[in-house]
Amino acid sequence: MKFHQAPRTLLALTAVSAVAFGATACGSAAGSSSSSGGTVGVTLILKTLSNPYFVTMENDAKAEAAKDGVSLTVAAGTSDGDTQTQITAIDDAISRGDKGILITTNGNAVNAALNQAKQAGLYVIALDTAPTPANVADITYATDNTAAGKLDGQAAAATLGGKKAVIAMLDLYNNQVVSVDIDRDHGFLQGMGIDPGSTTQNGQEAKSGTYTGGTGGSYQIACQQPTQGAIDGGRTAMEDCLSANPNINVVYAINEPAAEGAYAALQAAGKTSSVKIYAIDGSCQGVGYVSSGEFAADAVQYPGKMASLGVDSIAKLAKGGSKPSTSSGLDFYDTGTALVTASPVSGVTTETVAQGKAACWGSSS
């Protein structure tokens, strides 16, 4: 009896899973709107909608689309690294006849689909991070993640004032390579005056030596741990780092949630006063943590600006305008970055908390 049932169960399972997967794929295109009748169709494809950074992009893109009379379709991966949903959304954009795609890619797997989109005549703008290779997109509107990391690194070196730096590097992933992870990490090291030792990989810097930023001094990399960019990951990573080396005095965190988690670990260990956390993102919540002293500094970025500029460019292009061009000296259009600190740091250009709050994104909860 079992033998008769097994194939049937398998069949049912296959059928149901086909439906389930099919539904997932179609679900990502939900909310699509047709672009018939001469309106310009634009698809915005985000990494996820679980991060206020991308939610801000969505909101600002929608506002800009309403202003420009653009029909905007928004899609997003289910998690960081989910390229399949993004590819489906790109295919959908092509078949819908959209004029352009704005995308924060989840990885190189979307490259082939983006190339198809370009061949089909869509204008592809990468937001936030450039794809690899960068020419997969027609142009990238991004914050210079390396520059953001650098500002943090420079502030860290200057604040140390020649003291020995014992550094915890709290990165994003250990199961995939994402450019933002590399750029911010390497930027921070370069800002401190430490050679990252590689252009493509994290954790290749010499584990000890001298940093040249600020007044210079010796350094030691105490640990390099993944955080998944989340609070629990940041906390676990920081706990492991402190166990490995209780003398850590500088923490680099890939983003604000990771930094929050690190702070929780430091608080539990009673070490908040002796350790400085350097974060990147620039949400209102994060800028708040700078003013309350949890973060020593927060390199702020402007996700909403990237998205609204992107929508605007495609709208202009579709109406016969000229193509946007990159910032001089960079292979992308830089939407800017700044460092928010509670008090000025000598030798580094900083913004005050008030300035940061004026331009921050997300709600300030």
Which residues sit at the interface with another protein, rule CB under 8 A?
Answer: 9, 12-13, 16-17, 20, 24, 48-55, 78-79, 171, 174-175, 203, 207, 223-226, 228-233, 235-236, 239-241, 243-244, 257, 260-261, 264, 268-269, 285, 362-363, 365
Q: How far is the CB of 112 from another protein (least distance, A)?
A: 25
Q: Shortest CA distance to 143 belongs to which of 126, 124, 128?
A: 128
Q: How far is the CB of 221 from another protein (least distance, A)?
A: 9
Our CB check for another protein shows the closer of 72 and 221 to be 221
Q: How far is the CB of 315 from another protein (least distance, A)?
A: 26
Count the neighbouring beta carbons within 10 Å of the beta carbon of residue 38.
Answer: 7
Q: How far is the CB of 330 from another protein (least distance, A)?
A: 28
DSSP 100-125: EEEE--SSGGGHHHHHHHHHTT-EEE
Our CB check for another protein shows the closer of 100 and 257 to be 257
Contact 98, 310 (CB under 8 A): no
Alpha-carbon distance of 329 to 313, in angstroms, equals 21
Q: How far is the CB of 365 from another protein (least distance, A)?
A: 6
Our CB check for another protein shows the closer of 157 and 237 to be 237
Our CB check for another protein shows the closer of 20 and 354 to be 20
Our CB check for another protein shows the closer of 324 and 362 to be 362
Alpha-carbon distance of 352 to 341, in angstroms, equals 6
Q: What token pair was written down for 72?
A: 């905007």
Q: How far is the CB of 64 from another protein (least distance, A)?
A: 19
Our CB check for another protein shows the closer of 232 and 331 to be 232
Q: How far is the CB of 105 from another protein (least distance, A)?
A: 19
Q: Respond yes or no on whether the N-terminal peptide bond of residue 344 is cis (omega within 30° of 0).
A: no
55: left (phi over 0), alpha (psi -120 to 50) or beta: alpha
Q: Shortest CA distance to 300 belongs to which of 213, 239, 216, 358?
A: 358
Q: How many CA atoms lie within 13 A of 141 on its CB side?
A: 23
Alpha-carbon distance of 97 to 117, in angstroms, equals 10
Our CB check for another protein shows the closer of 60 and 171 to be 171
